[in-house]
Structure 1
């Protein structure tokens, strides 16, 4: 009996040593072919786990089932390399920190599809796998040609398609390589998870820098990975907070209750009858929106539904109770290669009516210069009390004005292909996608 237990323990230790050697060899091969993965490859420590099928990660450890990992290695060394890289990319792109409200089956599949598409685009022999017809059909169904599809976008697409159970199972067989059960561990410490997530985000940023500078040669042929890094590393913007930055300080006739002390007021009234010792200030300094210009690019390339969503979010901020002076003055300008319309908004109801009955006018080419010339004309005609700024909603493909205007200007690009756009140095640039607006709308609700 004792010998049997000893033999079992010895076999387990031997299997563990073999698996650690396999994983060490795997990391070496990946590093030799993709030097930019240097730091990432050093983050996951191997750990045996009999429940894994065949491997997975929680962001700190690479869990593996010894027997299954060894069987996979005997069958194909490239398959083990791909498994490790697949799991590593889940960590790098923070797929392992899902939102509590996601459908786990769809989220797991979306992450696997995105990671496998990235690996297929690397064209590295040590992780190569023939592309099957099922995979081609699945990618045509879930991915959009010419666009970078993140896990969030594929997840939304899966949710909207309502695929049959048999089709979901077919996709899972094609794209699933690792085990995701550690992603949903209810015993996870939230603060530790945030620290861990920040570590992977920092590593991802460094990885992009490495690929763009020191490892250009090693990263050749890695366009799919670079595109994904550009998407994930781009700065996320809260459009609502951005819009509030255009508010200005102004003194308005209004009782300032923040500086009013009821104790001294009541004491004076009780002591002297009708003579308070302190009275509230009659003015108060508040953040309010003054004169404002919103230009909507109505060229053919700017989609109407995106314009609508932009207007909805803009309206939600501007219609907040504390966002207006007693009289507001907002010009809603539609423009393609010339001014198509100018609607002056003087109150919240008029803004809502404009949004509800909004129709795109123009749909010609894109030229950014006419609105700036038009605003300059309005300024000369004293149409503005104090123009705080101009927001230009566009897709970014047009001719910019040559000189800096005397007010703050921001170009808001509603794009889902994540291609960067050069703007003049005097302009603020925001790149939003529908997901960014959804997050802002979620905060509003």
Structure 2
């Protein structure tokens, strides 16, 4: 068991009070800051669970504006932090205001050491309980959507959608480019549904010849065709009481579309060569990378089937539209293949991370997985380099980490788009950007645009 003391951040400009609190709070490791900027720096560095914050900070030592601003900044950066504000005897209104802004509690000068110690102990206990709860929820989420690795808001939003629709018995249509993780999400729908204990049956409609697909889906009776030596149940019947995943549904031939529509409407099937109707209770999840609306217009997909399949429609963003996921996935795949291959591989070099972020990933996660596996096999050193990946940095412009560079990058993109939309007119571009012409000229000079 660790003997390390809990860290508490004290934001206080009075050296006498700093010394007094250090002495009375000897059971904790006290990190001290005398103003808002140093408090934020210490918060980022130490991530303390509890902050003691004096509202009278410089330059407004007799007021509370700086202290309240510090409180808001602390809570925006670390919402789980418990902030206990310190006020003067006659400053109760600002203490109440701090509580409204999200402070955990307040105490007044001169302070009672026993009351303050009890307040800190309660705050630490609550912080620990909330952290444990978040960890349990995160573990539950990870186990529900096994195989899905993401930190990007677009995909996290998709996960929340899947969690909402899974308990219902509605048919789900997953739309997205090849390799975006449609089957992983389909399995998530199954695992989060009441059918989780039953079968999950997947079939790729594009991978089976049209002549065999009907018998694969619906099954056949003995003697139904040459070679049908025994009765065989199809995938739909096999998935009874479970979930049927029809991947690449856009490749389903028209005759089978009609037969699938009848099954979805009546929830009964007929095996090839059979005469009797067989009731089947199954949850249907479909996926495709095709534009079904365009296929309907071209007469290649039934509109009535589309509406049956898309009771719930989920659009999955490609990897290039999922900020941060490329590096996250690459590291996860590298860990996996390093274990499988028995190799000691410790991450990626800086140039490799740059090309991972810059690449457009037309093959999405599947392309990423294959690339990392090859790099793990071929790498000579203990780190994966850009050369091991075989990607050129010039294929796309890497996103800058530096805030100034990021701002210039965003400004350049916005100005370029505005000029393109206004056909080079400075006046119209300035209007689109919501700035004056002189400001636009200054901005173009700053970012080096003529």
On whether the aligned pair clears a TM of 0.5, the verdict is no
Normalising by the residue count of structure 1, what TM-score does the alignment of the two structures yield? Answer: 0.23
Normalising by the residue count of structure 2, what TM-score does the alignment of the two structures yield? Answer: 0.23
Higher relative contact order (CA 8 A, sep 6+): 1
| Structure possessing the higher radius of gyration over alpha carbons | 2
